[in-house]
Amino acid sequence: MDKALAVTARAFLCFQTKGRLLDAHLARMLTSPRQCRCCGATFAQLLSLSCDRPDICSEDMEVEDNSAVLATRGDILTDDFCRLGDLRFVRAVLAIPLPGSRGEEFLLGTWASLSRDDFDAYLDLFEMRETEKLGDRPAWLANAIPPDMPMPAGCVLEMRPEGQYPELQVTEQNHPLYPLQKDGAELEELLELLYAYGHDLPSLVFDA
Ligand SMILES: [Zn+2]
């Protein structure tokens, strides 16, 4: 399995069924106990994936508590922050709607690269859970999604209230995530994306 996208241990708490009609195939998959061959996750669990660091950040760097970002200078990786030389990153969520599901989303826990000024302002507001005061900031997606995608995606980082992770909206129209985020992903597109990360659900699903 690709290192960058493992099933997140702490769910993003956004996986909601709103009690409306689901596309029949999608509905079956959402409740299916069948497990991915690579990681044992169910389809429902795979709807919330997470990268534990920006791609540029070495695997050797240990993840520290968030408090360490204020207590130290220099390069550091914490649960939600990363500082590498002049680069600054914060953890963010990238949501892809699933049209057949009426309300379900495919959630990617990713990292956003932002300016030093915005990073410092975000840090100041983070403790007070008032990051939404920053509004929308320009940012770059700091993980390659899909994994063979060399093009960095220009984004807007939308701050959200009450300590929620900010949300990335891809603004780079030539990036493959742009139409997925705008129009939503069909089930097959979603399975393709998961498969690109080594999660082998298609064969399980279509054998069934
Ligand atoms: Zn898997």
pLDDT at 194 over 80: yes
Centroid of ligand 1 to alpha carbon of 100 (angstroms): 23
Highest mean pLDDT among 2-16, 21-35, 111-125, 149-163: 111-125
Centroid of ligand 1 to alpha carbon of 2 (angstroms): 9
Centroid of ligand 1 to alpha carbon of 73 (angstroms): 37
User: pLDDT exceeding 90 applies to what percent of the chain?
Assistant: 49
**CA distances in angstroms from 144 to 14, 45, 99, 140, listed in the order given:** 22, 21, 24, 11
Query: pLDDT digit string (tens) for 117-166?
Result: 999 999 999 988 999 999 999 999 999 888 777 778 999 999 999 889 99
| Peptide bond between residue 147 and the one before it cis (omega within 30 degrees of 0) | no
> Residue 86: its pLDDT value, please?
96
Centroid of ligand 1 to alpha carbon of 178 (angstroms): 24
Three-state helix/strand/coil letters over 1-62: CCCCCEECCCCCCCCCCCCCCCCHHHHHHHHCCCECCCCCCEHHHHCEEECCCCCCCCCCCC
> Residue 162: its pLDDT value, please?
86
Centroid of ligand 1 to alpha carbon of 36 (angstroms): 5
> Residue 202: its pLDDT value, please?
62
> Residue 188: its pLDDT value, please?
82
Question: Which residues are close to ligand 1, an ion, with C-beta < 5 A?
Answer: 36, 38-39, 199
Residues in the chain: 208
B/e letters for 121-135, b = 16+ CB within 10 Å, e = fewer, are bbbeebeeeebeebe
The residue behind tokens 């909206």 is 169
Query: pLDDT digit string (tens) for 78-109?
Result: 999 999 999 999 999 999 998 877 788 899 99
Centroid of ligand 1 to alpha carbon of 5 (angstroms): 9
Q: CA-to-CA distance for 102 and 72, rounded, in angstroms?
A: 45
Band of pLDDT at residue 7, cut at 50, 70 and 90: very low
Centroid of ligand 1 to alpha carbon of 123 (angstroms): 34
123 three-state secondary structure: helix
Q: Do residues 113 and 119 lie in contact, with contact meaning Cβ atoms separated by under 8 Å?
A: no
Centroid of ligand 1 to alpha carbon of 43 (angstroms): 9
Closest CA to 156 of 176, 134, 174: 134
The amino acid occupying position 157 is: L
Centroid of ligand 1 to alpha carbon of 98 (angstroms): 20
Centroid of ligand 1 to alpha carbon of 13 (angstroms): 20
